[in-house]
């Protein structure tokens, strides 16, 4: 009969049956397991003891003597004494031996369990950090890798530097990921602790009250900024009445900036990712290569900003400070009262308590020049008066940063310029249309519907006819430009669009300057764009800013001024505006020419090396004694007031760019972007003596 099990057939193998029996015994509990272990132990020890006694040449001749010898061997093997004597004596000795054995076993078990729990706690990262003057990173995101990398570079000449990371992942997992992404940390020791950053008791594990700086990492998703605010509140509760470390954080949505600033307290610095990213995109779209300059100044790999106090220059006007250093570039003055003055007036006198802001390789490389630097006055030139022709701008995609980018573009583009936006989705088109209707200035804006990753829609735009293009990233926090289900999103869409743009450029024979916004810095290496192209990765940019501020809190005012509207900022200007082309001059000559125009010259970019990495022709803070020959397409990196395009007749906007020396000092304090700067804070900075 089929379908019924019978007892006929080959027997089952012994090994599976033994395993099944063993598993059944284990499952029945501790008492059954102890009984079976005792029986198995006696079954092994007693026969072995009999064999040992019979193998001994001095074996007793009587049966009673032999049994006593076997008993003694069993007792010594099982650690129950093996005493001989009256039955009562033997029984009591066995009981005492069992009690001692139970006590020792329990003690060993307790010690073992305690050590195991301690090891597990250490592996889980639940022990308290006992370091001081360390840097704390709260949270876990892609920001942690550039931050750790930059902190390691900044601590290269510092002994016993420590970075403590508190994240929700397992301690070993975080250490492995950081080691894989960053590599060797040199003198810097990395400590990871596991736990949620919104719990004050967990935050206290990394001792933020004893840290030199605390960086709160941003998070993606709609709840990212809320998590940052809750982490700041937990940090405040953890350090209450026990200290107040320097706190640096960032939010993605500008609407949450004020709440985060209130949670960070009066000493905290909260950056607005959207605002900083939008301003850099707008400036880079007009000046290709500017993103590379910011990258060079913000990371610790090359030259960056430092502040020094130089008593020998006290009482000197700012114009003379520009040529006081041969291997450092002066960019401004940090007043003793607080704030910062980028590129102040030429007659601004350096006070005794003021500090000099400069770009240099390290905090010990700011050395005064031995004598006057060589300047070729005959090679100095000035820009001619000309009205630039109208330009055509193309914006591909739409997100929350787009209106800010357009607001930054409008005052600076030539009269009659045109801006075309291509976006998809009802919400994106509605927001873009509202932005276009609000335009009443020199920039004429139109909106077209289309998928930026669709080559047919791009063909209809006639991309090669545009002078400049901006490829916006996708808001993963619910931005306006939402793609249809199944469509490409995020950096994937940007990479595909760049492929289509490159094909259109090759077919049209004309290459507009393209600025690409990306979310993940790793995708920048995959981008099919020409070498030296401009990529703005908001997360990495903010990571570099936060790390710089954590190392020197006074730099918050510097970056505030650099990215503010209406103040002095970085620009790439034609080298022919400063020196004669094809003439070999010292870099000091370029600096002197910039001084006469009211600009701080910080470096240059050679067009012939624009495709050669890793610098792509950018040279920040060269030696002023070095000689260089500029061609008609080379650029000079200057710190100057934001240029305003000439206006047409009847236009009420300003008609010329201010390039003459200014008599009024300017401060870079912007409370709506980096609030929390404290006037009168005269604490020592990274570049101090």
380 within a domain of the structure (yes/no):
no
Q: Are residues 115 and 141 in the same domain?
A: no
Q: What's the CA gap between 553 and 655, in Å, rounded?
A: 38
- Cα angle value 583/284/303 (rounded, 5°): 65
Closest listed residue to residue 366, CA positions, set 308, 302, 315: 308
648 within a domain of the structure (yes/no):
no
Residue that has been written with the tokens 């505030």 in this structure: 560
Q: Are residues 46 and 116 in the same domain?
A: yes
Predicted confidence band at 646 (pLDDT cuts at 50, 70, 90)? low
H/E element, 249: strand 246-251
| CB-based contact 246:213 (threshold 8 Å) | yes
Q: Are residues 49 and 139 in the same domain?
A: no
Q: Are residues 88 and 130 in the same domain?
A: no
Q: What's the CA gap between 261 and 348, in Å, rounded?
A: 33
Residue that has been written with the tokens 């040992």 in this structure: 52
Comparing 412 with 355, the larger pLDDT belongs to 355
Closest listed residue to residue 520, CA positions, set 254, 146, 154, 96: 146
Q: Are residues 141 and 109 in the same domain?
A: no
Model confidence pLDDT, tens digit, residues 575-584: 999 999 999 9
Lowest average pLDDT, out of 5-9, 301-305, 589-593, goes to: 5-9
The total of structural domains in the chain comes to: 3
Comparing 37 with 389, the larger pLDDT belongs to 389
Model confidence pLDDT, tens digit, residues 162-220: 999 999 998 889 999 999 999 888 889 999 999 999 999 999 999 999 999 999 998 87
Q: Are residues 259 and 133 in the same domain?
A: yes
User: pLDDT above 70 covers what percent of the chain?
Assistant: 86
The last residue of a domain, from among 90, 105, 123 = 123
88 within a domain of the structure (yes/no):
yes
| CB-based contact 305:648 (threshold 8 Å) | no
The last residue of a domain, from among 123, 151, 178 = 123
Comparing 524 with 460, the larger pLDDT belongs to 460
563 within a domain of the structure (yes/no):
no
The pLDDT score that the predictor gives to residue 6 is: 46
552 within a domain of the structure (yes/no):
no
Sheet strand arrangement including 635-641: 568-574, 635-641, 600-605, 618-620
Q: Are residues 442 and 500 in the same domain?
A: yes
The DSSP string of 141-173 is: STTHHHHHHHHHHHTTT-TT-EEEEEESS-HHH
Estimate the crossing angle of helix 224-238 against helix 257-264, to 10 degrees.
10
Q: What would the two tokens of residue 445 be? A: 């804006």
Domain region containing 102:
25-123
518 within a domain of the structure (yes/no):
yes
Q: Are residues 37 and 148 in the same domain?
A: no
The pLDDT score that the predictor gives to residue 123 is: 63
251 within a domain of the structure (yes/no):
yes
Predicted confidence band at 393 (pLDDT cuts at 50, 70, 90)? very high
- pLDDT of 667 higher than 50: no
Q: What's the CA gap between 358 and 305, in Å, rounded?
A: 6
Q: Are residues 130 and 261 in the same domain?
A: yes
Q: Are residues 528 and 512 in the same domain?
A: yes
Predicted confidence band at 613 (pLDDT cuts at 50, 70, 90)? confident
| CB-based contact 401:278 (threshold 8 Å) | yes
Predicted confidence band at 125 (pLDDT cuts at 50, 70, 90)? low
Closest listed residue to residue 326, CA positions, set 375, 362, 373: 373
Can you give the CATH number for the domain in which 234 is found? 3.40.50.720
Rounded to two decimals, the pTM is 0.74
Per the rule left: phi > 0, alpha: psi between -120 and 50, beta: everything else, 391 is: beta
Q: Return mean pLDDT, the chain.
A: 82
How far is CA 629 from its chain centroid? 37
Strands 418-423 and 392-396: parallel
Spell 469-499 as b/e; 16+ CB within 10 A means b.
bbbbbbbebebbbbbeeeebbbbebbbbbbe
Q: What's the CA gap between 570 and 559, in Å, rounded?
A: 11
**Distances from the Cα of 52 to the Cα of 47, 72, 82, angstroms:** 9, 11, 15
- pLDDT of 438 higher than 90: no
Closest listed residue to residue 566, CA positions, set 667, 430, 439, 675: 667
Q: What would the two tokens of residue 105 be? A: 């076993």
Model confidence pLDDT, tens digit, residues 443-494: 899 999 999 989 999 999 989 899 999 999 866 544 444 445 455 667 888 8
Q: Which residues lie closer than 8 Å to 621 by C-beta, 6 or more apart?
A: 303, 327, 328, 329, 359, 360, 361, 602, 603
Q: Are residues 37 and 70 in the same domain?
A: yes
Q: What's the CA gap between 659 and 645, in Å, rounded?
A: 13
Q: Which residues lie closer than 8 Å to 610 by C-beta, 6 or more apart?
A: 289, 531, 532, 616, 617
Mean pLDDT of the 86-108 span: 75
The pLDDT score that the predictor gives to residue 686 is: 37
Mean pLDDT of the 67-79 span: 77
The last residue of a domain, from among 64, 97, 123 = 123
| CB-based contact 165:177 (threshold 8 Å) | no
Q: Are residues 415 and 526 in the same domain?
A: yes
Comparing 669 with 32, the larger pLDDT belongs to 32
| CB-based contact 643:409 (threshold 8 Å) | no
516 within a domain of the structure (yes/no):
yes
Estimate the crossing angle of helix 426-437 against helix 402-409, to 10 degrees.
30
According to the 3-state scheme, what is the secondary structure of 497-523?
A: HHHHHHHHHHHHCCCCEEEEEECCHHH
Closest listed residue to residue 163, CA positions, set 140, 137, 143: 137
């Amino acid at each position: 009969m089929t379908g019924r099990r019978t007892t006929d057939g080959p027997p089952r193998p012994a090994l599976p049956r033994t395993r099944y029996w063993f598993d059944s015994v284990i499952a029945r509990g501790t008492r059954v397991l102890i009984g079976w272990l005792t029986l198995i132990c006696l079954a092994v020890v007693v026969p072995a003891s009999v064999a040992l006694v019979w193998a001994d040449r001095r074996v007793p001749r009587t049966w009673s003597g032999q049994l006593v010898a076997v008993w003694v061997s069993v007792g010594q093997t099982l650690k129950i004494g093996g005493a001989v004597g009256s039955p009562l004596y033997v029984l009591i000795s066995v009981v005492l031996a069992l009690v001692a054995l139970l006590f020792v076993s329990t003690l060993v078990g307790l010690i073992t369990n305690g050590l195991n729990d301690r090891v597990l706690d250490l592996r889980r990262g639940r022990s308290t950090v006992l370091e001081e003057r360390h840097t704390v990173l709260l949270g876990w995101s892609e920001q942690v890798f550039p931050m750790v990398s930059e902190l390691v570079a900044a601590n290269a000449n510092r002994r016993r530097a420590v970075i403590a990371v508190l994240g929700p992942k397992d301690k070993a997992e975080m250490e492995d990921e950081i080691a894989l992404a960053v590599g060797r940390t040199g003198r810097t020791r990395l400590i990871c602790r596991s736990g949620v950053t919104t719990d004050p008791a967990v935050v206290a594990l990394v001792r933020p009250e004893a840290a030199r700086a605390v960086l709160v990492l941003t998070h993606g998703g709609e709840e990212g900024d809320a998590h940052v605010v809750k982490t700041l509140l937990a940090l405040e509760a953890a350090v209450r009445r026990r200290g107040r470390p320097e706190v640096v954080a960032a939010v993605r949505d500008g609407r949450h900036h004020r709440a985060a600033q209130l949670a960070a307290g009066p000493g905290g610095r909260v950056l607005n990712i959207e605002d900083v990213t939008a301003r850099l995109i707008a400036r880079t779209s007009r000046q290709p290569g500017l993103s590379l300059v910011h990258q060079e100044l913000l990371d610790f790999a090359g030259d960056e900003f430092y502040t020094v106090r130089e008593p020998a220059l006290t009482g000197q006007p700012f114009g003379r400070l520009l040529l006081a250093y041969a291997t450092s570039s002066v960019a401004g003055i940090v007043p003793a009262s607080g704030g910062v003055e980028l590129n102040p007036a030429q007659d601004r006198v350096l006070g005794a308590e003021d500090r000099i802001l400069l770009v240099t390789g390290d905090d010990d490389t700011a050395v005064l020049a031995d004598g006057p630097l060589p300047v070729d006055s005959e090679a100095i030139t000035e820009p001619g008066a000309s009205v630039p022709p109208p330009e055509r701008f193309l914006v591909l995609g739409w997100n929350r940063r787009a209106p800010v980018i357009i607001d930054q573009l409008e005052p600076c583009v030539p009269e009659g310029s045109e801006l075309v936006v291509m976006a998809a989705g009802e919400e994106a088109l509605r927001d873009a249309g509202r932005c276009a209707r609000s335009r009443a200035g020199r920039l004429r804006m139109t909106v077209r519907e289309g998928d930026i990753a669709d080559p047919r829609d791009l063909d209809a735009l006639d991309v090669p006819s545009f002078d400049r293009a901006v490829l916006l990233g996708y808001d993963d926090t619910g931005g306006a430009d939402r793609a249809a289900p199944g469509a490409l999103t995020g950096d994937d869409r940007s990479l595909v669009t760049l492929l289509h743009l490159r094909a259109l450029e090759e077919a049209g024979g004309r290459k507009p300057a393209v600025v690409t916004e990306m979310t993940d810095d790793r995708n920048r290496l995959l981008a099919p764009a020409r070498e030296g192209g401009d990529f703005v990765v908001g997360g990495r940019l903010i990571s570099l800013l936060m790390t710089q501020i954590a190392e020197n809190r006074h730099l918050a005012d510097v970056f505030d001024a650099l990215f503010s509207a209406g103040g002095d900022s970085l620009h790439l200007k034609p080298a022919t505006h400063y020196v004669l082309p094809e003439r070999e001059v010292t870099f000091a000559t370029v600096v002197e020419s910039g001084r006469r125009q009211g600009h701080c010259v910080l470096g240059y970019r050679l067009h012939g090396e624009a495709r050669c990495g890793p610098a792509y022709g950018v040279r920040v803070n060269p030696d002023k004694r070095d000689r260089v020959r500029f061609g008609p397409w080379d650029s000079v990196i200057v710190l100057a007031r934001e240029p305003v395009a000439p206006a047409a007749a009847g236009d009420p906007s300003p008609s010329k760019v201010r390039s003459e020396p200014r008599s009024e000092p300017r401060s870079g304090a912007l409370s709506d972007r980096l609030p929390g700067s404290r006037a009168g804070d005269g604490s020592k900075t990274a570049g101090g003596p």
